[in-house]
């Protein structure tokens, strides 16, 4: 029985571990933190097969000056970070082309369809149905102008046969009467689920992994070394030997791989969230992306979770509450917020590769080393599918989707 180490216990690492344990491997997850408690904790809780629009798309270049000179709740950046990582920023912008957008959308669609199918099985097997609501994802637009700008993304969705329903002002008001403002238009994604508590889903998946023989070391992985045909994983107090190692450490993946000689084009989309109580119970099933405001909110009866847009900054930079505080002020015009349930906003760093696609596959320079990271802001929606793909590749099986767009050797590492 092959021994596999999974470095990282976020939702990507957990899903990869579950897939491998189901296939008969001996699997150990290594992380100094509790499973699912880091970047995987702070998200909108959406499982969809229709998050196809990457940030560096053709529209980004047209709005670049506005993003640079105007402070928006959807995007903030550190000038020091941009100057210090200028080569990454330029590389990122170079991928803002129609051809790459179409390739990325097709690849992400295949991965998300596989992932959603796999998540549904895991939800059933882990008895997590009470944590799920459907439909789970909706984009809303306050003005005709903002909706018209969405036409390009609708075209991408149509080309990839994503399922959605267009809602007008009256239909939104009828289906979601708790909303205190009138939206001009809505796009409700039919084939989507909302996870009410992402951390609980991670915990349930992880319990399943342990139940069926998985192991967990809550320790810092100091180093990994390939010695005599095996991988030595150096922990706090000892060393462990494995046949295969999968790097699923999200924004920390680069730390491990730099020591092995890899130059990973990875940066961080930092994001914040807060929790609030409401004056009354709110009956809204999908997480809602307010496109004009640049934030997402979701409701669990009398509790609201609100997440900010992107902050491009150093991974370990200090928390800056300005962006999320502005979001909260906007949300107060939409829902009857009452009390803040979180003293300070949560902050996490979403790992983003320069072309906005995750790295999934064999390491270019080493045997039995695998990459599965860089899922940026859609890690929950792509996690289970990427676990299936990695397991197929470790077993030397043909993958059920085209994996070429995700392979690590697409970059000169």
β-strand partners of 6: 29, 246
Give me the number of domains the chain comprises.
1
Helix (H, G, I), strand (E, B) or coil at 328: helix
pLDDT in tens, 123-165: 999 999 999 999 999 999 999 999 999 999 999 999 999 999 9
- The average pLDDT across 238-264 equals 95
* CATH code of residue 175: 3.50.50.60
- The average pLDDT across 32-54 equals 93
- The average pLDDT across 378-393 equals 98
Q: What pLDDT does residue 42 have? A: 80
pLDDT in tens, 182-197: 999 999 999 999 999 9
pLDDT in tens, 275-316: 999 988 999 999 999 999 999 999 998 999 999 999 999 999
Which domain, by its residues, includes 109?
3-410
Residue 320 has pLDDT above 80, yes or no: yes
- Cα(119)–Cα(70) distance, integer angstroms: 39
Q: What pLDDT does residue 405 have? A: 98
Nearby residues of 386 by Cβ (< 8 Å), 6 or more positions away = 12, 15, 16, 111, 115, 358, 360, 372, 375, 406
Residue 199 has pLDDT above 80, yes or no: yes
CB 333 within 8 A of CB 292: no
Q: What pLDDT does residue 391 have? A: 98
Helix (H, G, I), strand (E, B) or coil at 110: helix
Nearby residues of 169 by Cβ (< 8 Å), 6 or more positions away = 182, 183, 184, 185
Q: What pLDDT does residue 202 have? A: 97
Q: What pLDDT does residue 44 have? A: 86
- The average pLDDT across 41-45 equals 87
CA 356 to chain centre: 11
Q: What percent of the chain shows pLDDT beyond 70? A: 99
Q: What pLDDT does residue 158 have? A: 98
Q: What is the pTM of this model?
A: 0.96
- The average pLDDT across 63-73 equals 73
Residue 87 has pLDDT above 80, yes or no: yes
Q: What pLDDT does residue 70 have? A: 67
Q: What pLDDT does residue 60 have? A: 87
Q: Which range has the worst mean pLDDT, 71-85, 203-217, 337-351, 392-406?
A: 71-85
Query: What are the structure tokens assigned to 243, written together?
Result: 């046949």
Q: What pLDDT does residue 412 have? A: 73
In order of 43, 111, 182, 374, the CA distances from 299 in angstroms are 13, 27, 18, 28
The more confident residue out of 66 and 343 is 343
């Amino acid at each position: 029985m092959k021994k596999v180490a999974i470095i990282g216990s976020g939702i990507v690492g957990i899903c990869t571990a579950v897939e491998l344990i189901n296939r008969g491997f001996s699997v150990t997850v290594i992380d100094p933190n509790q499973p699912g408690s880091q970047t995987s904790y702070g998200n909108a809780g959406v499982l969809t097969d229709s998050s196809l629009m990457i940030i560096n798309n053709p529209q980004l270049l047209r709005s670049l000056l506005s993003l640079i000179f105007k402070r928006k709740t959807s995007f903030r950046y550190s000038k020091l970070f941009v100057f210090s990582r200028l080569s990454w920023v330029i590389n990122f912008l170079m991928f803002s082309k129609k051809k790459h957008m179409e390739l990325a959308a097709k690849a992400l669609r295949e991965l998300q369809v596989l992932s959603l199918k796999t998540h549904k099985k895991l939800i059933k097997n882990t008895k997590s149905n009470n944590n799920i609501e459907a439909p789970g994802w909706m984009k809303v637009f306050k003005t005709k102008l903002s909706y018209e700008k969405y036409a390009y993304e609708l075209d991408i969705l149509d080309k990839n046969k994503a399922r959605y329903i267009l809602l007008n002002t009256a239909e939104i008001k009828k289906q979601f009467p708790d909303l205190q403002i009138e939206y001009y238009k809505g796009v409700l994604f039919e084939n989507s689920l909302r996870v009410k508590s992402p951390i609980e889903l991670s915990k349930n998946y992880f319990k399943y992994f342990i139940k069926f023989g998985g192991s967990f070391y809550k320790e810092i992985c100091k180093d990994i070394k390939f010695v005599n045909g095996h991988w030595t994983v150096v922990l706090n107090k000892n060393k462990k030997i494995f046949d295969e190692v999968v790097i699923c450490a999200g924004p920390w993946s680069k730390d491990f791989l730099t020591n092995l000689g890899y130059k990973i084009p990875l940066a961080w989309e930092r994001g914040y969230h807060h929790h609030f109580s409401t004056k009354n119970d709110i009956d809204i099933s999908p997480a809602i992306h307010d496109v004009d405001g640049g934030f997402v909110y979701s409701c669990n009866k009398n509790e609201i979770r609100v997440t900010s847009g992107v902050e491009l900054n150093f991974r370990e930079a200090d928390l800056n509450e300005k962006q999320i505080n502005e979001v909260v002020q906007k949300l107060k015009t939409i829902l009857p917020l009452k009390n803040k349930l979180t003293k300070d906003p949560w902050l996490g760093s979403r790992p983003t590769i320069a072309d906005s696609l995750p790295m999934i596959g064999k390491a270019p320079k080493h045997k039995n080393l695998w990459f599965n990271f860089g899922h940026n802001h859609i890690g929950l929606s792509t996690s289970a599918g990427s676990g299936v793909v990695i397991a197929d590749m470790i077993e030397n099986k043909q993958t059920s989707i085209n994996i070429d767009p995700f392979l690590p050797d697409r970059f000169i590492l």
